[in-house]
Structure 1
Amino acid sequence: MLPPKPPARPDKVSFLRYLRLFRQDILSAQPAKLYRAWMAEFKTPFFRSYLINQPELVREVLNARPDDFPKSDRINEGLRPLLGNSVFVTNGETWKRQRRIIDPAFEGGRLRDTFPAMWAAGQAAVARLDEGETEIEQETSFAAADVIFRTLFSIPIEDEVASRVFTQFRDYQRSQPILNIAAMVPLPRWVPRLFSRQTKDTAKAIRALITQLTAARMAAIKAGTAPDDLATKIMTTKDPETGQTFSTDEMVDQVAIFFLAGHETSASALAWTLYLLAMHPDWQDRLADEAKALEQRPDVAVMSKLRLSRDVFREGLRLYPPVPMMVREASCPENFRDRDIKKGAQIVVSPWHLHRQERLWDNPDGFDPTRWGTENGKTCQRDAYIPFSSGARVCPGAGFAMFEGPLILSMLLRAYRFDLVEGKVPVPVAHLTVRAKDGIWLRVSKR
């Protein structure tokens, strides 16, 4: 069976139709010219948005002047019921303090310590998978959540509280769009936000469960019985400038984003990468052969043997970046490419477009893991590849994800073959991350 072709890109899309299609099908929503443009302007009755798709402009916003382009509150409004004041939504000094406490937990040495937990989660994922037609996003979601709970709290996904968090979050991510009315209309602070009852109730339930886990860990830390995992590391790390640690309430906010970022994004990336491998069985066989190294070295040293898996996972992140767009706000008047940008304008940085920028990438829509060894691939990886953002606000878990993804991918491919299911072509849509409208269905068979 031939791999499905991507949908045709329209030449023009009105703003209102763009918003509607973005939620329904982000591929079809994007006008073809956006994959060639260095910059584009969107006009609304309330504000202006500017998509920047030129590496120099992206570096200016994310790397050179991040304080001048804070995260937009318009987008953050849709995430506050779950994330509170987590590091994902804060700005300024609050954000800097949070990162000073969080970053040490994800340094190289600490990542090596997480390998046994990741290995155990991978073994559990292999054992859970059945032969036959399978909705693979559900499986990768379970596996990614298992990794988070094992590395963060030293408990498997089967733990009662962990299982309830996972179930509630599955409902939340389907009910909460990436944009809500606050992203479109400049509502005053005193105006109630229009979240659905399901969104508010589910977020409240998730936070209550996380509070239960966090309070129990705080008590274990005080008693000297806490395991040496990521939660303990983060909760005992002092801000080097103030000497303060996170309170229980602050830690609840951070755990919420760790679960969102570490579970949602990894699940999305793994599922789309398996879909790409089902489209390219020759690559699947190459990775399965490489994964034989796991039989001899089930320890962290084996990661150096999984080079092809890493390149394939990197290519999956390029074609289907879990976070398709990031929105910043101009804190002062700017001029980009001879366009005057007013204070308060929205600056959209889009991995979805930058990773397929036709002026930069060779074969931008094609699946080619060998590109990372070419001069074009090396240049684009440096200048036009931001699946984890870039600069000061780069995801602190980027190294964690590039550790977890290739390992879980290799463990699954060592045990199973994945094939396309005729008539079930996944359509990417924008929930909290890039997911498939009706799931990603693959036929699973043992090797």
Structure 2
Amino acid sequence: MSCPHLPPKPPSRPEKTSLLNYARLFRADILSAQPAKLYRAWMAEFRTPFFRSYLINQPALVDLVLKERPDDFPKSGRVREGLAPLLGNSVFVTNGETWKRQRRIIDPAFEGGRLKETFPAMLEAAQACVARMEARTGEIEVEEETSHAAADVIFRTLFSIPIEHEIAAQVFSEFRAYQRAQPILNIAAFLPLPRWFPRFHKREVKRTAGSIRRLITGLTADRAAEIAAGRAPDDLATKIMTTTDPQTGARFDTEEMVDQVAIFFLAGHETSASALAWALYLLAAFPEVQQRAAEEAATLPENPGFSDISGLKFIRDVFRETLRLYPPVPMMVRENVKPETFRDRKVKRGSQIVLSPWHQQRNERLWSNPDGFDPGRWATEEGRRCGREAYMPFSAGPRVCTGAGFAMVEGPLILAMLLRRLRFETVEGRVPRPVAHLTVRAAEGIHLKVSRR
């Protein structure tokens, strides 16, 4: 489907540019820093004085890196440099045996049965979101609302507290300040700095990251005390903190649990907020899609149960299509531990291997109407094939996002609850402009007219 209100792709940089200009563009918006050829290339090489970078779109190469030989392509330390003040040694940035041990402890909390157990808390957050938006109506900047809702989901499912809880509200406030201050990469991502060399993190980045970690430390310490006293609620935090590594018998200590909570909040809140906001905009821009989705949402009972979500087939496809066009995490970076050959090209050890959901999911050689919004594609054989071969909003392979299943319940649920009660329309002259910092967001926000059905 085409639509005059569909946000255009970010502008592309010239084919040739200096490292200094590339770094400047990258810090401002990683999407505009890339050349247009990436929307049709199977592979592209970028050279800097300090390292080589290879972006790969070809499905077979992506599968090699993410699924077939993931241990040979660990996460790059260059991305970690900018996020270290907040994330420490979380599962998002670790590699090797440390990462495998962390996943052995975390994964059981997000298995199918546990998702069903967290659903009531997720539903409460969705109902609270509907109530807030019903009370406002008129023109609303919806990214603020989806951020509020996604943070509420995280706190209710992780620590059994709503976003209005004093500490939860403080974490949410500090995280919004952190978002404004933190570029996706800092200088250490571009220069070969030794470990002892200062990383030049902004003062506000260090302040907000430190504040968030202190607040999370308090929540974690309180939960440890509740567990010891035998009165802890049966939520995700309790599950993770009481799970032992089946190989070593060890549990997370307080500091490591703080690292994990920080990434749950960053990944689980920031990414869901992005996807929900773009989904609401697309529904507003395509009224016929919104009408069909609203009719499906109306079939839900007043207080839906976990099993009812499986009936939201079209809304799920709307959410999947949103994740295709606006993947919250637009790029992922790996590093090869030994020499490789990609498409007859020698790739030296230590090169940066970039996998881009944004470019692969809009690749002209893989998708029909790659820049168009078409939820119906997921019901076609071609759409299902592309979904298997060239769709990775949650990454893929062993490092697939732990919360992927969680997100695919949360997103359709919140959309359905909103559509049952509210109608969304675009605002004249307010077409959002996608940019990528921590996630793909709108440069000036997403403004919609909201009214009661």
Tell me the TM-score range normalised by the shorter chain: over 0.9
Shift of 1:260: 0.6
- Secondary structure of the structure 1 residue equivalent to 2:300: helix
Contact 2:6 2:282 in 1 (8 A): no
Question: Is contact 1:13-1:29 (8 Å) kept?
Answer: no
Work out which of the residue numbers 358, 368, 374 in structure 1 matches 2:364: 358
Q: Which of 119, 126, 129 lines up with 1:122 in the alignment?
A: 126
Q: CA deviation at 1:13?
A: 5.2
Which residue in the other structure is 2:63 paired with? Answer: 59
**2:207 corresponds to:** 201
Take 2:62 and 2:335, find their aligned partners in 1: how far apart are those partners? Answer: 13
Q: Find the counterpart in structure 2 of residue 105 from structure 1.
A: 109
Q: Corresponding residue for 1:261? A: 267
1:227-257 C-alpha deviation (Å, 9 max, x unpaired): 0000000000010001111111110000000
> For residue 372 of structure 1, what is the aligned residue in structure 2?
378
1:11 shift after superposition: 6.3
> In the alignment, which of 372, 385, 388 is matched to residue 391 of structure 2?
385
Distance in 2 (CA, whole Å) between partners of 1:411 and 1:183 is 41
Aligned partner of 1:136: which letter?
V
1:78 aligns with 2:76: no
Question: Displacement of 1:294 after TM fit?
Answer: 2.4
Paired AA for residue 199 in structure 2:
R
Task: Point out where structure 2 has 5 or more consecutive residues left out of the alignment.
Answer: none
CA contact (8 A) 1:416 1:444 kept: yes
- 1:150 & 1:238 partners in 2: Cα distance? 23
**Partners of 1:121 and 1:231 in 2: how far apart?**
17
Question: Is residue 2:339 matched to residue 1:330?
Answer: no
SS of 2:301's partner is helix
- Which AA in structure 2 matches 1:37? A
**Preserved contact between residue 25 and residue 428 of structure 1 (Cα < 8 Å):** no
> 1:101·1:245 contact (CA, 8 Å) conserved in 2?
yes
Distance 1:18 1:379 in 2: 35
Pairing partner for 1:12 from 7, 12, 15: 15
Which of these residues, 68, 80, 99, is aligned with residue 72 of structure 2?
A: 68
Distance 2:51 2:302 in 1: 58
Secondary structure, counterpart of 2:82 in structure 1 = coil
- Tell me the CA shift for residue 14 of structure 1: 2.3
Question: What does residue 413 of structure 1 align with?
Answer: 419
The whole-number CA distance in structure 1 between the counterparts of 2:131 and 2:345 is 56
Q: Segments of 4+ in structure 1 off by > 6 A?
A: none
The CA deviation at 1:427 is 1.4
Amino acid at match of 1:49: S
Q: 1:175 to 1:316 in 2, by over 3 A?
A: same
Aligned-pair CA distance for 1:287: 0.9
Unmatched 5+ stretches in structure 1: none
Instruction: Give CA deviations for 1:55-107 in whole Å, capped at 9, x if unaligned.
Output: 00000111111111110001111111000000000000000000000000000
CA drift of 1:409 comes to 0.7
Residue type at the aligned position of 1:12: E
Corresponding residue number in structure 2 for 1:149? 155
* Residue of structure 2 equivalent to 1:47: 51
2: CA distance, partners of 1:175 / 1:419: 31
Report the CA distance between 1:32 and its aligned residue: 2.2
User: Does the 8 Å CA contact 1:24/1:437 hold for their aligned counterparts?
Assistant: no
1:3 equivalent to 2:9? Answer no
Give 1:230's match in structure 2, choosing from 225, 229, 236.
236
Quick check: 1:23–1:177 contact (8 Å CA) kept in 2? Answer: yes
SS state at 1:245 partner: coil
Provide Cα deviations, 1:398-443, integer angstroms capped at 9, x if missing partner.
Answer: 0000010000011111111111111222111122111111111111
Task: Give the deviation of 1:19 after TM superposition.
Answer: 4.0
Sequence identity percentage: 70
Q: In the aligned structure 1, how far is the partner of 2:297 from the partner of 2:248? A: 46
Q: Is the 8 A contact 2:432 2:443 kept in 1?
A: yes
Return closer, same or farther for 1:289/1:180 CA change in 2, 3 Å cut-off. same
